[in-house]
Structure 1
Amino acid sequence: MVSTAAPDTDDEVLPVSDSQTFRRAFKDLSDGFSQRELWLSLGWQDIKQRYRRSVLGPFWITIATGVQAAAMGILYSALLDIPLDEFLPYVTVGLIVWQLISASILEGSEVFVANEGLIKQLPSALSVHVYRLVWRQILLLAHNMLIYVVMLVAFGVWRDLTWTSFAAIPALVLLMLNALWGSIVFGIFSTRYRDIAPILGSFVLLAFVLTPIMWTTKALEQQGGQAAERVKLAELNPLFHYLDIIRAPLIGEEQEAYHWYIVLAFTVLGWTLALLAMRKYRARVPYWV
Protein backbone atom coordinates (compact mmCIF):
# COMPACT_ATOMS: atom_id res chain seq x y z
CA MET A 1 0.00 0.00 0.00
CA VAL A 2 1.31 3.44 -0.91
CA SER A 3 1.38 5.89 1.97
CA THR A 4 -0.55 9.10 1.40
CA ALA A 5 0.72 10.84 4.57
CA ALA A 6 1.92 14.39 4.06
CA PRO A 7 5.67 14.91 4.36
CA ASP A 8 6.88 16.16 7.71
CA THR A 9 7.64 19.86 7.28
CA ASP A 10 8.63 20.37 10.93
CA ASP A 11 12.02 18.67 10.82
CA GLU A 12 14.23 19.62 13.72
CA VAL A 13 16.75 22.30 12.80
CA LEU A 14 20.12 21.76 14.42
CA PRO A 15 21.55 24.85 16.14
CA VAL A 16 24.37 26.54 14.28
CA SER A 17 27.42 27.44 16.38
CA ASP A 18 28.31 31.12 16.36
CA SER A 19 31.82 30.58 17.75
CA GLN A 20 33.30 31.80 14.45
CA THR A 21 31.39 35.02 14.00
CA PHE A 22 32.33 38.65 14.30
CA ARG A 23 29.70 39.00 17.00
CA ARG A 24 31.58 36.59 19.24
CA ALA A 25 34.87 38.32 18.40
CA PHE A 26 33.49 41.72 19.44
CA LYS A 27 31.88 40.14 22.51
CA ASP A 28 35.23 38.68 23.58
CA LEU A 29 36.88 42.11 23.31
CA SER A 30 34.00 43.76 25.16
CA ASP A 31 33.83 41.13 27.90
CA GLY A 32 37.59 41.27 28.31
CA PHE A 33 37.54 45.04 28.76
CA SER A 34 34.68 44.80 31.26
CA GLN A 35 36.87 42.47 33.35
CA ARG A 36 39.34 45.31 33.86
CA GLU A 37 39.59 44.74 37.59
CA LEU A 38 41.10 41.34 36.75
CA TRP A 39 43.64 42.43 34.14
CA LEU A 40 44.55 45.63 35.99
CA SER A 41 45.34 43.55 39.06
CA LEU A 42 47.21 40.87 37.10
CA GLY A 43 49.28 43.45 35.24
CA TRP A 44 50.26 45.17 38.48
CA GLN A 45 51.12 41.81 40.05
CA ASP A 46 53.37 41.03 37.05
CA ILE A 47 55.46 44.10 37.87
CA LYS A 48 55.60 43.34 41.59
CA GLN A 49 56.45 39.67 41.06
CA ARG A 50 59.19 40.44 38.55
CA TYR A 51 61.02 42.66 41.03
CA ARG A 52 60.12 40.86 44.22
CA ARG A 53 62.69 41.34 47.02
CA SER A 54 64.35 44.09 44.96
CA VAL A 55 65.04 47.38 46.74
CA LEU A 56 64.41 49.61 43.71
CA GLY A 57 61.81 47.37 42.07
CA PRO A 58 60.75 48.36 38.53
CA PHE A 59 62.98 51.42 38.74
CA TRP A 60 65.82 49.09 37.72
CA ILE A 61 64.32 49.26 34.22
CA THR A 62 64.39 53.06 34.44
CA ILE A 63 68.03 53.04 35.52
CA ALA A 64 69.02 50.55 32.81
CA THR A 65 67.23 52.57 30.12
CA GLY A 66 68.81 55.80 31.34
CA VAL A 67 72.32 54.33 31.37
CA GLN A 68 71.83 52.80 27.91
CA ALA A 69 70.52 56.07 26.50
CA ALA A 70 73.39 58.07 28.03
CA ALA A 71 76.06 55.66 26.76
CA MET A 72 74.67 55.43 23.23
CA GLY A 73 73.87 59.12 23.09
CA ILE A 74 77.41 60.16 24.02
CA LEU A 75 79.01 57.61 21.68
CA TYR A 76 76.89 58.28 18.59
CA SER A 77 76.88 62.01 19.20
CA ALA A 78 80.67 61.95 18.77
CA LEU A 79 80.56 59.54 15.81
CA LEU A 80 77.88 61.50 13.92
CA ASP A 81 79.20 64.90 15.01
CA ILE A 82 75.84 66.00 16.45
CA PRO A 83 75.65 68.25 19.54
CA LEU A 84 75.00 66.18 22.64
CA ASP A 85 72.26 68.44 23.99
CA GLU A 86 70.38 67.91 20.72
CA PHE A 87 71.10 64.23 20.17
CA LEU A 88 70.73 62.77 23.67
CA PRO A 89 67.03 63.73 24.08
CA TYR A 90 66.42 62.28 20.60
CA VAL A 91 68.04 58.96 21.56
CA THR A 92 66.45 58.82 25.03
CA VAL A 93 62.86 59.28 23.88
CA GLY A 94 63.54 56.95 20.96
CA LEU A 95 64.69 54.18 23.30
CA ILE A 96 61.75 54.66 25.67
CA VAL A 97 59.21 54.42 22.85
CA TRP A 98 61.11 51.58 21.16
CA GLN A 99 60.91 49.47 24.32
CA LEU A 100 57.13 49.82 24.19
CA ILE A 101 56.99 48.88 20.51
CA SER A 102 59.37 45.93 20.73
CA ALA A 103 57.70 44.53 23.88
CA SER A 104 54.32 44.71 22.16
CA ILE A 105 55.70 42.54 19.36
CA LEU A 106 57.89 40.12 21.33
CA GLU A 107 55.75 39.66 24.42
CA GLY A 108 52.62 39.86 22.29
CA SER A 109 53.73 36.80 20.34
CA GLU A 110 53.95 34.85 23.62
CA VAL A 111 50.88 36.31 25.31
CA PHE A 112 48.72 33.19 25.09
CA VAL A 113 51.49 30.62 25.49
CA ALA A 114 52.71 32.39 28.64
CA ASN A 115 49.18 32.31 30.09
CA GLU A 116 48.45 28.68 29.29
CA GLY A 117 47.41 27.82 32.84
CA LEU A 118 44.99 30.76 33.17
CA ILE A 119 43.47 30.15 29.72
CA LYS A 120 42.70 26.53 30.58
CA GLN A 121 41.51 27.11 34.14
CA LEU A 122 40.12 30.66 34.35
CA PRO A 123 36.71 31.26 32.71
CA SER A 124 37.50 34.65 31.20
CA ALA A 125 37.60 36.27 27.79
CA LEU A 126 40.70 35.58 25.72
CA SER A 127 41.32 39.31 25.32
CA VAL A 128 41.89 39.66 29.08
CA HIS A 129 45.45 38.46 28.58
CA VAL A 130 46.04 41.01 25.82
CA TYR A 131 44.72 43.87 27.97
CA ARG A 132 46.93 42.63 30.80
CA LEU A 133 50.01 42.74 28.57
CA VAL A 134 49.33 46.25 27.28
CA TRP A 135 48.55 47.53 30.80
CA ARG A 136 51.88 46.14 32.01
CA GLN A 137 53.68 47.96 29.22
CA ILE A 138 51.92 51.21 30.16
CA LEU A 139 53.18 50.83 33.73
CA LEU A 140 56.74 50.27 32.53
CA LEU A 141 56.45 53.25 30.20
CA ALA A 142 55.30 55.40 33.13
CA HIS A 143 58.45 54.42 35.05
CA ASN A 144 60.69 55.23 32.09
CA MET A 145 59.06 58.62 31.60
CA LEU A 146 60.90 59.72 34.73
CA ILE A 147 64.02 59.80 32.52
CA TYR A 148 62.18 62.12 30.15
CA VAL A 149 61.24 64.47 32.99
CA VAL A 150 64.87 64.66 34.14
CA MET A 151 65.98 65.29 30.56
CA LEU A 152 63.45 68.12 30.14
CA VAL A 153 65.17 70.02 32.92
CA ALA A 154 68.78 68.94 32.41
CA PHE A 155 68.93 69.77 28.69
CA GLY A 156 66.35 72.56 28.58
CA VAL A 157 64.09 70.60 26.23
CA TRP A 158 61.08 72.25 27.87
CA ARG A 159 61.98 75.49 26.09
CA ASP A 160 61.31 73.84 22.71
CA LEU A 161 57.91 72.46 23.69
CA THR A 162 54.77 74.12 22.30
CA TRP A 163 51.07 73.36 22.35
CA THR A 164 51.70 70.83 19.55
CA SER A 165 53.54 68.70 22.11
CA PHE A 166 50.11 67.57 23.33
CA ALA A 167 49.97 65.53 20.12
CA ALA A 168 51.98 62.95 22.06
CA ILE A 169 48.78 62.01 23.94
CA PRO A 170 46.75 60.80 20.91
CA ALA A 171 49.98 59.31 19.56
CA LEU A 172 50.30 57.21 22.73
CA VAL A 173 46.66 56.13 22.38
CA LEU A 174 47.38 55.03 18.82
CA LEU A 175 50.40 53.07 20.00
CA MET A 176 48.23 51.30 22.58
CA LEU A 177 45.62 50.43 19.96
CA ASN A 178 48.34 49.00 17.74
CA ALA A 179 49.85 47.10 20.65
CA LEU A 180 46.43 45.49 21.20
CA TRP A 181 45.92 44.31 17.64
CA GLY A 182 49.57 43.29 17.33
CA SER A 183 49.34 41.13 20.45
CA ILE A 184 46.14 39.51 19.18
CA VAL A 185 47.45 38.72 15.69
CA PHE A 186 50.99 37.69 16.66
CA GLY A 187 49.73 35.91 19.77
CA ILE A 188 47.20 33.75 17.94
CA PHE A 189 49.48 32.73 15.09
CA SER A 190 52.50 32.23 17.33
CA THR A 191 50.40 29.91 19.46
CA ARG A 192 49.56 27.83 16.41
CA TYR A 193 53.01 28.04 14.79
CA ARG A 194 55.71 28.23 17.46
CA ASP A 195 58.39 29.20 14.91
CA ILE A 196 56.87 32.67 14.51
CA ALA A 197 58.09 33.95 17.91
CA PRO A 198 61.85 33.47 17.21
CA ILE A 199 61.35 34.88 13.72
CA LEU A 200 59.81 38.01 15.24
CA GLY A 201 62.75 38.21 17.64
CA SER A 202 65.16 38.39 14.71
CA PHE A 203 62.91 40.88 12.94
CA VAL A 204 62.81 43.23 15.95
CA LEU A 205 66.60 43.12 16.26
CA LEU A 206 66.96 44.03 12.59
CA ALA A 207 64.28 46.71 12.83
CA PHE A 208 66.13 48.35 15.73
CA VAL A 209 69.11 48.91 13.45
CA LEU A 210 66.99 50.12 10.52
CA THR A 211 64.83 52.47 12.59
CA PRO A 212 66.27 55.96 13.25
CA ILE A 213 66.95 55.63 16.96
CA MET A 214 70.74 55.74 17.08
CA TRP A 215 70.90 57.82 13.90
CA THR A 216 68.82 60.62 12.40
CA THR A 217 67.30 61.20 9.00
CA LYS A 218 68.43 64.84 9.22
CA ALA A 219 72.06 63.73 9.33
CA LEU A 220 71.55 61.73 6.12
CA GLU A 221 69.83 64.63 4.40
CA GLN A 222 72.68 66.99 5.30
CA GLN A 223 75.21 64.62 3.72
CA GLY A 224 73.40 64.87 0.39
CA GLY A 225 73.87 62.54 -2.57
CA GLN A 226 73.14 58.86 -2.02
CA ALA A 227 72.90 59.35 1.73
CA ALA A 228 69.94 61.68 1.23
CA GLU A 229 68.27 59.10 -0.99
CA ARG A 230 68.48 56.56 1.84
CA VAL A 231 66.03 58.68 3.84
CA LYS A 232 63.32 57.43 1.46
CA LEU A 233 64.33 53.87 2.27
CA ALA A 234 64.07 54.63 5.99
CA GLU A 235 60.52 55.86 5.46
CA LEU A 236 59.56 52.46 4.06
CA ASN A 237 60.00 51.15 7.60
CA PRO A 238 56.55 51.47 9.26
CA LEU A 239 58.07 51.46 12.75
CA PHE A 240 59.79 54.76 11.92
CA HIS A 241 56.38 56.43 11.60
CA TYR A 242 55.14 54.91 14.86
CA LEU A 243 58.22 56.24 16.58
CA ASP A 244 58.08 59.70 15.04
CA ILE A 245 54.47 60.55 15.94
CA ILE A 246 55.31 60.39 19.63
CA ARG A 247 59.01 61.30 19.73
CA ALA A 248 58.79 64.50 17.69
CA PRO A 249 56.18 66.19 19.95
CA LEU A 250 58.03 65.17 23.11
CA ILE A 251 61.29 66.82 22.03
CA GLY A 252 59.70 69.84 20.34
CA GLU A 253 60.46 68.90 16.74
CA GLU A 254 58.25 69.63 13.75
CA GLN A 255 56.39 66.73 12.24
CA GLU A 256 54.90 65.90 8.86
CA ALA A 257 51.23 64.86 8.72
CA TYR A 258 51.95 61.82 6.55
CA HIS A 259 53.41 60.00 9.56
CA TRP A 260 49.97 60.10 11.15
CA TYR A 261 48.23 58.99 7.96
CA ILE A 262 50.49 55.96 7.67
CA VAL A 263 50.01 54.96 11.32
CA LEU A 264 46.23 55.40 11.05
CA ALA A 265 46.18 53.24 7.92
CA PHE A 266 48.17 50.50 9.66
CA THR A 267 45.85 50.76 12.67
CA VAL A 268 42.77 50.13 10.53
CA LEU A 269 44.48 47.31 8.63
CA GLY A 270 45.80 45.75 11.83
CA TRP A 271 42.45 45.76 13.59
CA THR A 272 40.84 44.23 10.51
CA LEU A 273 43.35 41.37 10.70
CA ALA A 274 42.85 41.09 14.47
CA LEU A 275 39.06 40.79 14.14
CA LEU A 276 39.42 38.20 11.38
CA ALA A 277 41.86 36.22 13.53
CA MET A 278 39.58 36.45 16.57
CA ARG A 279 36.58 35.41 14.50
CA LYS A 280 38.20 32.32 13.00
CA TYR A 281 40.72 31.11 15.61
CA ARG A 282 39.64 32.50 19.01
CA ALA A 283 37.94 29.24 20.02
CA ARG A 284 40.98 27.16 19.02
CA VAL A 285 43.58 28.96 21.14
CA PRO A 286 42.82 26.96 24.33
CA TYR A 287 43.54 23.76 22.38
CA TRP A 288 46.75 25.11 20.87
CA VAL A 289 48.43 26.34 24.06
Structure 2
Amino acid sequence: MKESLKDISASIKAWHLWTTLGWLELRQRYKRSIVGPFWITLSMAVLIIALGVIYGELFKLEVKEYLPMLAIGLVFWNFISGVINEGCVTFISSASFISQLPTKKFIYIMQMLWRNFMMLCHNIVIVIIVLLLFNVFTIKTFPFFIVGFAIVLANLIWIATLFAIISVRFRDFPQMVMSFMQVVFYITPILFSGTMLAKYSLLLKLNPFAWFIEIIRSPLVGKFPAAYCYYNSIILFVVGVLVTLFVFGKCKDRIAYWV
Protein backbone atom coordinates (compact mmCIF):
# COMPACT_ATOMS: atom_id res chain seq x y z
CA MET A 1 0.00 0.00 0.00
CA LYS A 2 2.94 2.34 0.57
CA GLU A 3 3.80 2.25 -3.13
CA SER A 4 0.19 3.01 -4.00
CA LEU A 5 0.13 6.02 -1.67
CA LYS A 6 3.43 7.30 -3.09
CA ASP A 7 2.04 7.13 -6.63
CA ILE A 8 -1.19 8.86 -5.60
CA SER A 9 0.62 11.55 -3.59
CA ALA A 10 3.05 12.32 -6.42
CA SER A 11 0.19 12.43 -8.92
CA ILE A 12 -1.84 14.87 -6.85
CA LYS A 13 1.20 17.12 -6.44
CA ALA A 14 1.54 17.19 -10.24
CA TRP A 15 -1.86 18.93 -10.44
CA HIS A 16 -0.61 21.34 -13.09
CA LEU A 17 -0.02 18.38 -15.42
CA TRP A 18 -3.37 16.59 -15.15
CA THR A 19 -5.40 19.78 -15.10
CA THR A 20 -3.66 20.97 -18.28
CA LEU A 21 -4.06 17.59 -20.00
CA GLY A 22 -7.73 17.40 -19.04
CA TRP A 23 -8.43 20.91 -20.27
CA LEU A 24 -6.57 20.35 -23.57
CA GLU A 25 -8.45 17.10 -24.17
CA LEU A 26 -11.79 18.83 -23.61
CA ARG A 27 -10.80 21.67 -25.94
CA GLN A 28 -9.70 19.19 -28.58
CA ARG A 29 -13.13 17.54 -28.53
CA TYR A 30 -14.82 20.83 -29.40
CA LYS A 31 -12.16 22.32 -31.66
CA ARG A 32 -13.60 24.86 -34.13
CA SER A 33 -16.96 24.69 -32.39
CA ILE A 34 -18.55 28.06 -31.65
CA VAL A 35 -20.50 26.91 -28.59
CA GLY A 36 -17.84 24.42 -27.48
CA PRO A 37 -18.52 22.33 -24.35
CA PHE A 38 -21.82 24.17 -23.87
CA TRP A 39 -23.26 21.82 -26.50
CA ILE A 40 -23.37 19.34 -23.60
CA THR A 41 -25.32 21.86 -21.55
CA LEU A 42 -27.76 22.62 -24.35
CA SER A 43 -28.48 18.95 -25.06
CA MET A 44 -28.90 18.25 -21.35
CA ALA A 45 -31.29 21.20 -20.98
CA VAL A 46 -33.44 19.99 -23.88
CA LEU A 47 -33.52 16.47 -22.42
CA ILE A 48 -34.54 17.75 -18.97
CA ILE A 49 -37.34 19.90 -20.37
CA ALA A 50 -38.67 17.08 -22.57
CA LEU A 51 -38.57 14.47 -19.81
CA GLY A 52 -39.87 16.96 -17.26
CA VAL A 53 -43.02 17.63 -19.29
CA ILE A 54 -43.64 13.99 -20.23
CA TYR A 55 -42.86 12.23 -16.95
CA GLY A 56 -44.34 15.04 -14.89
CA GLU A 57 -47.64 14.38 -16.64
CA LEU A 58 -47.28 10.59 -16.27
CA PHE A 59 -46.50 10.82 -12.55
CA LYS A 60 -49.12 13.54 -12.03
CA LEU A 61 -46.61 15.84 -10.37
CA GLU A 62 -46.38 19.61 -10.46
CA VAL A 63 -43.57 21.06 -12.55
CA LYS A 64 -42.27 23.00 -9.54
CA GLU A 65 -41.84 19.73 -7.62
CA TYR A 66 -40.67 17.43 -10.39
CA LEU A 67 -38.37 19.51 -12.64
CA PRO A 68 -35.78 20.43 -9.96
CA MET A 69 -35.63 16.79 -8.84
CA LEU A 70 -35.19 15.60 -12.43
CA ALA A 71 -32.59 18.24 -13.34
CA ILE A 72 -30.39 17.50 -10.34
CA GLY A 73 -30.75 13.75 -10.81
CA LEU A 74 -29.84 13.76 -14.52
CA VAL A 75 -26.97 16.24 -14.25
CA PHE A 76 -25.24 14.41 -11.42
CA TRP A 77 -26.01 10.97 -12.84
CA ASN A 78 -24.33 12.11 -16.05
CA PHE A 79 -21.25 12.97 -13.98
CA ILE A 80 -21.30 9.74 -11.96
CA SER A 81 -21.79 7.43 -14.94
CA GLY A 82 -19.28 9.43 -17.00
CA VAL A 83 -16.54 9.01 -14.39
CA ILE A 84 -17.21 5.29 -14.02
CA ASN A 85 -17.51 4.50 -17.74
CA GLU A 86 -14.54 6.63 -18.76
CA GLY A 87 -12.63 5.40 -15.73
CA CYS A 88 -12.74 1.89 -17.16
CA VAL A 89 -10.84 2.94 -20.29
CA THR A 90 -8.52 5.49 -18.67
CA PHE A 91 -5.35 3.41 -18.90
CA ILE A 92 -6.34 1.88 -22.23
CA SER A 93 -6.88 5.28 -23.89
CA SER A 94 -3.58 6.54 -22.43
CA ALA A 95 -1.62 3.50 -23.64
CA SER A 96 0.74 5.54 -25.83
CA PHE A 97 1.82 7.67 -22.84
CA ILE A 98 2.00 4.83 -20.33
CA SER A 99 4.13 2.62 -22.59
CA GLN A 100 6.62 5.37 -23.42
CA LEU A 101 6.79 7.71 -20.41
CA PRO A 102 7.64 6.84 -16.78
CA THR A 103 4.73 8.89 -15.39
CA LYS A 104 2.74 8.05 -12.29
CA LYS A 105 -0.34 6.01 -13.18
CA PHE A 106 -2.79 7.87 -10.95
CA ILE A 107 -2.19 11.04 -13.00
CA TYR A 108 -4.40 9.58 -15.74
CA ILE A 109 -7.22 8.96 -13.26
CA MET A 110 -7.01 12.57 -12.08
CA GLN A 111 -6.95 13.80 -15.69
CA MET A 112 -10.15 11.89 -16.47
CA LEU A 113 -11.78 13.07 -13.23
CA TRP A 114 -10.85 16.70 -13.89
CA ARG A 115 -12.25 16.55 -17.42
CA ASN A 116 -15.57 15.17 -16.19
CA PHE A 117 -15.66 17.72 -13.38
CA MET A 118 -15.31 20.55 -15.91
CA MET A 119 -18.20 19.06 -17.88
CA LEU A 120 -20.22 18.97 -14.65
CA CYS A 121 -19.45 22.65 -14.11
CA HIS A 122 -20.99 23.38 -17.51
CA ASN A 123 -24.12 21.35 -16.73
CA ILE A 124 -24.49 22.70 -13.20
CA VAL A 125 -25.69 25.94 -14.81
CA ILE A 126 -28.96 24.12 -15.59
CA VAL A 127 -29.39 23.10 -11.95
CA ILE A 128 -28.73 26.65 -10.71
CA ILE A 129 -31.26 28.12 -13.13
CA VAL A 130 -33.94 25.56 -12.21
CA LEU A 131 -33.41 26.00 -8.46
CA LEU A 132 -33.62 29.78 -8.73
CA LEU A 133 -36.57 29.67 -11.12
CA PHE A 134 -38.70 27.50 -8.83
CA ASN A 135 -37.28 28.93 -5.59
CA VAL A 136 -36.66 25.55 -3.93
CA PHE A 137 -33.06 26.18 -2.85
CA THR A 138 -32.32 26.92 0.79
CA ILE A 139 -28.96 27.78 2.34
CA LYS A 140 -29.88 25.79 5.47
CA THR A 141 -29.32 22.42 3.80
CA PHE A 142 -26.55 23.48 1.38
CA PRO A 143 -23.68 22.34 3.68
CA PHE A 144 -25.15 18.83 3.49
CA PHE A 145 -24.78 19.00 -0.29
CA ILE A 146 -21.09 19.90 0.04
CA VAL A 147 -20.50 16.95 2.37
CA GLY A 148 -22.55 14.62 0.20
CA PHE A 149 -20.80 15.60 -3.03
CA ALA A 150 -17.38 15.16 -1.35
CA ILE A 151 -18.36 11.64 -0.24
CA VAL A 152 -19.63 10.74 -3.72
CA LEU A 153 -16.50 12.15 -5.36
CA ALA A 154 -14.28 10.17 -2.99
CA ASN A 155 -16.15 6.97 -3.86
CA LEU A 156 -15.93 7.68 -7.59
CA ILE A 157 -12.15 8.03 -7.37
CA TRP A 158 -11.58 4.55 -5.98
CA ILE A 159 -14.22 3.02 -8.25
CA ALA A 160 -12.63 4.57 -11.36
CA THR A 161 -9.15 3.48 -10.27
CA LEU A 162 -10.15 -0.09 -9.51
CA PHE A 163 -12.20 -0.42 -12.70
CA ALA A 164 -9.34 1.04 -14.77
CA ILE A 165 -6.99 -1.65 -13.49
CA ILE A 166 -9.48 -4.46 -14.07
CA SER A 167 -10.33 -3.14 -17.55
CA VAL A 168 -6.74 -2.92 -18.73
CA ARG A 169 -6.28 -6.56 -17.79
CA PHE A 170 -9.69 -7.85 -18.93
CA ARG A 171 -10.83 -5.88 -21.99
CA ASP A 172 -14.44 -7.06 -21.86
CA PHE A 173 -14.95 -5.41 -18.50
CA PRO A 174 -15.72 -1.86 -19.83
CA GLN A 175 -18.61 -3.22 -21.91
CA MET A 176 -19.94 -5.09 -18.89
CA VAL A 177 -19.81 -1.93 -16.79
CA MET A 178 -21.49 0.15 -19.48
CA SER A 179 -24.36 -2.35 -19.74
CA PHE A 180 -24.62 -2.50 -15.96
CA MET A 181 -24.80 1.30 -15.66
CA GLN A 182 -27.65 1.41 -18.18
CA VAL A 183 -29.65 -1.03 -16.06
CA VAL A 184 -28.82 0.78 -12.81
CA PHE A 185 -30.12 4.05 -14.30
CA TYR A 186 -33.67 2.67 -14.37
CA ILE A 187 -33.62 1.28 -10.82
CA THR A 188 -32.09 4.40 -9.27
CA PRO A 189 -34.38 7.31 -8.28
CA ILE A 190 -33.33 9.71 -11.03
CA LEU A 191 -36.46 10.02 -13.15
CA PHE A 192 -38.53 9.51 -10.00
CA SER A 193 -38.21 10.09 -6.26
CA GLY A 194 -37.46 7.42 -3.71
CA THR A 195 -40.88 7.87 -2.09
CA MET A 196 -42.49 6.51 -5.26
CA LEU A 197 -40.87 3.14 -4.54
CA ALA A 198 -42.13 2.75 -1.00
CA LYS A 199 -42.98 -0.90 -1.66
CA TYR A 200 -39.42 -1.51 -2.84
CA SER A 201 -37.55 0.47 -0.20
CA LEU A 202 -35.12 -2.41 0.30
CA LEU A 203 -34.03 -2.01 -3.33
CA LEU A 204 -33.06 1.60 -2.64
CA LYS A 205 -31.27 0.76 0.60
CA LEU A 206 -29.11 -1.79 -1.23
CA ASN A 207 -28.38 0.46 -4.21
CA PRO A 208 -25.20 2.57 -3.69
CA PHE A 209 -26.18 4.88 -6.53
CA ALA A 210 -29.46 5.63 -4.78
CA TRP A 211 -27.40 6.70 -1.74
CA PHE A 212 -25.24 8.95 -3.93
CA ILE A 213 -28.20 10.66 -5.58
CA GLU A 214 -29.97 11.09 -2.24
CA ILE A 215 -27.08 12.84 -0.46
CA ILE A 216 -26.58 15.16 -3.44
CA ARG A 217 -30.15 15.93 -4.50
CA SER A 218 -32.08 16.22 -1.24
CA PRO A 219 -30.03 19.13 0.22
CA LEU A 220 -30.39 21.10 -3.02
CA VAL A 221 -34.19 20.94 -2.85
CA GLY A 222 -34.29 21.90 0.81
CA LYS A 223 -34.58 18.42 2.32
CA PHE A 224 -32.38 16.47 4.73
CA PRO A 225 -31.04 13.18 3.29
CA ALA A 226 -31.64 9.89 5.06
CA ALA A 227 -28.85 9.25 7.57
CA TYR A 228 -28.24 5.69 6.35
CA CYS A 229 -27.17 7.05 2.95
CA TYR A 230 -24.26 8.85 4.60
CA TYR A 231 -23.29 5.88 6.77
CA ASN A 232 -23.43 3.38 3.93
CA SER A 233 -21.54 5.66 1.53
CA ILE A 234 -18.75 6.22 4.07
CA ILE A 235 -18.47 2.48 4.82
CA LEU A 236 -18.37 1.77 1.09
CA PHE A 237 -15.60 4.35 0.72
CA VAL A 238 -13.45 2.87 3.47
CA VAL A 239 -13.77 -0.70 2.19
CA GLY A 240 -13.34 0.38 -1.44
CA VAL A 241 -10.21 2.43 -0.75
CA LEU A 242 -8.53 -0.41 1.13
CA VAL A 243 -9.24 -2.87 -1.67
CA THR A 244 -8.16 -0.41 -4.38
CA LEU A 245 -4.91 0.51 -2.61
CA PHE A 246 -4.03 -3.18 -2.33
CA VAL A 247 -4.85 -3.94 -5.98
CA PHE A 248 -3.18 -0.75 -7.24
CA GLY A 249 -0.01 -1.54 -5.31
CA LYS A 250 0.12 -5.04 -6.78
CA CYS A 251 -0.70 -4.10 -10.37
CA LYS A 252 0.53 -0.56 -11.10
CA ASP A 253 3.93 -1.71 -12.39
CA ARG A 254 2.25 -4.24 -14.70
CA ILE A 255 -0.09 -1.73 -16.34
CA ALA A 256 2.58 -0.69 -18.86
CA TYR A 257 2.79 -4.31 -20.06
CA TRP A 258 -0.98 -4.85 -20.13
CA VAL A 259 -1.79 -1.80 -22.26
- Corresponding residue number in structure 1 for 2:58: 79
- Corresponding residue number in structure 1 for 2:150: 173
- Alignment RMSD (CA, Å): 1.1
Instruction: Report the secondary structure of 1:56's partner residue.
Output: coil
Cα distance in 1 for partners of 2:256, 2:45 equals: 39
Please tell me whether the aligned partners of residues 248 and 254 of structure 1 are also in contact (alpha carbons under 8 angstroms): yes
- Corresponding residue number in structure 2 for 1:218: 195
- Corresponding residue number in structure 2 for 1:195: 172
- Corresponding residue number in structure 2 for 1:7: none
Encode CA deviations 1:238-287: one digit per residue, 9 max, x unaligned: 10001110111111123211110011011111111110111111111110
Please tell me whether the aligned partners of residues 134 and 176 of structure 1 are also in contact (alpha carbons under 8 angstroms): no
Report whether the alignment pairs 1:123 with 2:102: yes
Report whether the alignment pairs 1:277 with 2:256: no
Q: CA deviation at 1:177?
A: 1.4
Please tell me whether the aligned partners of residues 241 and 259 of structure 1 are also in contact (alpha carbons under 8 angstroms): yes
- Corresponding residue number in structure 1 for 2:139: 162
Amino acid at match of 1:129: Y
Q: CA deviation at 1:219?
A: 2.7
Q: CA deviation at 1:51?
A: 0.7
Task: Name the count of aligned residue pairs.
Answer: 259
What is the correspondence of 1:242-253 to structure 2 with a 5 Å cutoff? Answer: 242-253=212-223
Instruction: Report the secondary structure of 1:157's partner residue.
Output: coil
Report whether the alignment pairs 1:34 with 2:13: yes
In the alignment, which of 62, 69, 74 is matched to residue 48 of structure 2?
69
Of Structure 1 and Structure 2, the greater helix share is in 2
Encode CA deviations 1:16-54: one digit per residue, 9 max, x unaligned: xxxxxx221111101111111110100111111111111
Please tell me whether the aligned partners of residues 211 and 234 of structure 1 are also in contact (alpha carbons under 8 angstroms): yes
Encode CA deviations 1:196-217: one digit per residue, 9 max, x unaligned: 1100011000000000111222
- Corresponding residue number in structure 2 for 1:16: none
Amino acid at match of 1:23: K
- Corresponding residue number in structure 1 for 2:70: 91
Cα distance in 2 for partners of 1:124, 1:179 equals: 22
Q: CA deviation at 1:153?
A: 2.2
Cα distance in 2 for partners of 1:150, 1:229 equals: 33
Q: CA deviation at 1:167?
A: 1.4
Report whether the alignment pairs 1:235 with 2:214: no
Encode CA deviations 1:86-138: one digit per residue, 9 max, x unaligned: 00100000001101110121000001001001111222100000011111111
Percent identical: 34
Cα distance in 1 for partners of 2:98, 2:152 equals: 26
Query: Structure 2 unaligned runs (5+)?
Result: none
- Corresponding residue number in structure 2 for 1:53: 32
Report whether the alignment pairs 1:254 with 2:249: no
Q: CA deviation at 1:69?
A: 1.1
Please tell me whether the aligned partners of residues 141 and 220 of structure 2 are also in contact (alpha carbons under 8 angstroms): no
Please tell me whether the aligned partners of residues 52 and 63 of structure 2 are also in contact (alpha carbons under 8 angstroms): yes
Q: CA deviation at 1:183?
A: 1.3
Q: CA deviation at 1:60?
A: 0.6
- Corresponding residue number in structure 2 for 1:15: none
Q: Give runs of ≥4 in structure 1 deviating > 3 Å.
A: none
Please tell me whether the aligned partners of residues 140 and 222 of structure 2 are also in contact (alpha carbons under 8 angstroms): no
Cα distance in 1 for partners of 2:146, 2:70 equals: 20
Query: TM-score, normalised on structure 1?
Result: 0.87
